[in-house]
A and B are shown apart, each in its own frame.
Chain A
Amino acid sequence: MSRHILLGAALAVVAAPAIAHHSFAAEFDINQPVQLKGEVIKMVFTNPHSRIFLKVTTASGEVQEWSIEGGAPNALIRRGWNRDSLPPGTIVTVLGYRARDGSLSASGGSVTLPDGSSLNATDTGAGAPQ
């Protein structure tokens, strides 16, 4: 009996970090692509995923706060991102895939800046030297 309880506790502890770091398919749906245009609230370079918080106004005028998940900081830095890439207030267009649970979050693909240039935020491939 006590062994089962111990195992349960161990699983609970192991499961917690898994909420933060996961496969794409576990949280996002490849069949639900989404395009979002909005204002950057902030961008955080955190491991294991970076995150862009975006204020989006819908066609009906509702203001929504989206969380766009991207690759790890190291991967993004290799693709040219830095702390000045998305200052708060920047208007961006993000292509991504919606979360399966219907929350206002998505896995980010490309992020297009006001000048038309774009950055790749995808959470695939670290881009590390082979």
Chain B
Amino acid sequence: MRQKIPALAVWVFVISALSQPVFAQERRPERIGGKPNLNGIWQAVNEAHWNLEGHSAQALEVFAKQMGAINTVPAGQSVVVGGEIPYLPEALAKRAENRAGWPASDPEAKCYMPGIPRATYMPYPFQIVQGEGDQILFSYTFANANRPVFMRDHQRAPVDLWMGRSNGAWDGDTLVIEVNSNIDSTWFDRAGNHHSAAMIVTERYTLIDEHVMQYEATIEDPETFSRPWTIRMPLYRRAEENARLLEFNCVKFAERLLYSEFEAGDAARPSGSR
């Protein structure tokens, strides 16, 4: 009996701790330190992760035989302002090469950290953790990627990074983040759209109402594009009472793709065994 009471007390504590987010959400202040409160779990609901540009629905050859209409590409309208990405000729040829090698060529298939802006509109939620301090944390489901947004101490990182270096500032009620130090190995989508290490992304997050944000990202990369270009899309708050980020440790999902050469092949498997 003596032992049961503390155990019960622990459970009461655990349960009350777990219910905190729900209460916190109900009491969510509109502003934090005079700035809009962006805290919460957000997600894009569109087809941009397949292709930023407008595209028709299509079947994927690699899955068609086993999965039929499952795992196909839904049609999507362009999220690029003006419709098309202004590639330089050589960079356009590189995109064609990326497409020809898909899906193995896609860093998403390898569970690499997606970089910005791709992390924003992958089909997984992400979380913004905002206080009054010097940093705002963005945490993404895919590959457990995250990035601190530095509201002071703006600088470049010493080396190029998968998630870049994020320097943030408020422009009125819009959170503006300049992302520099981007590694050249991330893509924009599953359609092979790519960039170089010279890319600077300028993001703008603006609350439209409590549940919707406008997201804009302007891409500048003179080594890949003939001029800066912008993508724009709404982001929606995940409104479930128990909304939270769940683990998506995709490393183990990518191992067979990356290391299949080290796997015992079918030939090595004795017949009749499974």
Interface size of A by CB at 8 A reads 16
How does the 8 Å CB contact mask read for B198-223 relative to A, with 1 for contact and 0 for none? 00000000000000000000000000
Contact A13 B259 (CB under 8 A): yes
Cα distance, A9 to B160, chains bound together (Å): 35
Cα distance, A112 to B274, chains bound together (Å): 56
Interface assignment of A59: CB less than 8 Å from any CB of chain B: no
Closest Cβ neighbor of B259 among chain A residues: A16
Q: Which residues of A contact B273 (CB under 8 A)?
A: 1-2, 5
Question: How many inter-chain contacts with C-beta < 8 Å in the A-B complex?
Answer: 38
Contact B159 A45 (CB under 8 A): yes
Interface size of B by CB at 8 A reads 14
Contact B262 A12 (CB under 8 A): yes
* Nearest chain A CB to B257 CB, angstrom units: 12
Interface assignment of A128: CB less than 8 Å from any CB of chain B: no
Q: Which residues of A contact B258 (CB under 8 A)?
A: 16
How does the 8 Å CB contact mask read for B249-274 relative to A, with 1 for contact and 0 for none? 00000011011001110000110011
Within 8 A of A (CB), among B150-169: 158-160
Q: Which of A15, A16, A73 has the most CB of B within 10 A?
A: A16
* Nearest chain A CB to B116 CB, angstrom units: 18
Closest Cβ neighbor of B269 among chain A residues: A5
Q: Which residues of A contact B270 (CB under 8 A)?
A: 1, 5
Contact B269 A83 (CB under 8 A): no
How does the 8 Å CB contact mask read for A1-25 relative to B, with 1 for contact and 0 for none? 1100100110011011100000000
Contact A16 B264 (CB under 8 A): no
How does the 8 Å CB contact mask read for A31-67 relative to B, with 1 for contact and 0 for none? 0000000000000010000000000000000000000
Interface assignment of A77: CB less than 8 Å from any CB of chain B: yes
Q: Which residues of A contact B269 (CB under 8 A)?
A: 5
Q: Which residues of A contact B264 (CB under 8 A)?
A: 5, 8-9, 12
Seen from chain B, the residues whose Cβ lies within 8 Å of a Cβ on chain A are 158-160, 255-256, 258-259, 262-264, 269-270, 273-274
Known: A5-B264, A13-B255. 16 other contacts (CB 8 A): A1-B273, A5-B269, A5-B270, A5-B273, A12-B262, A13-B256, A13-B259, A13-B262, A13-B263, A16-B255, A17-B259, A45-B159, A73-B159, A77-B158, A81-B158, A82-B159
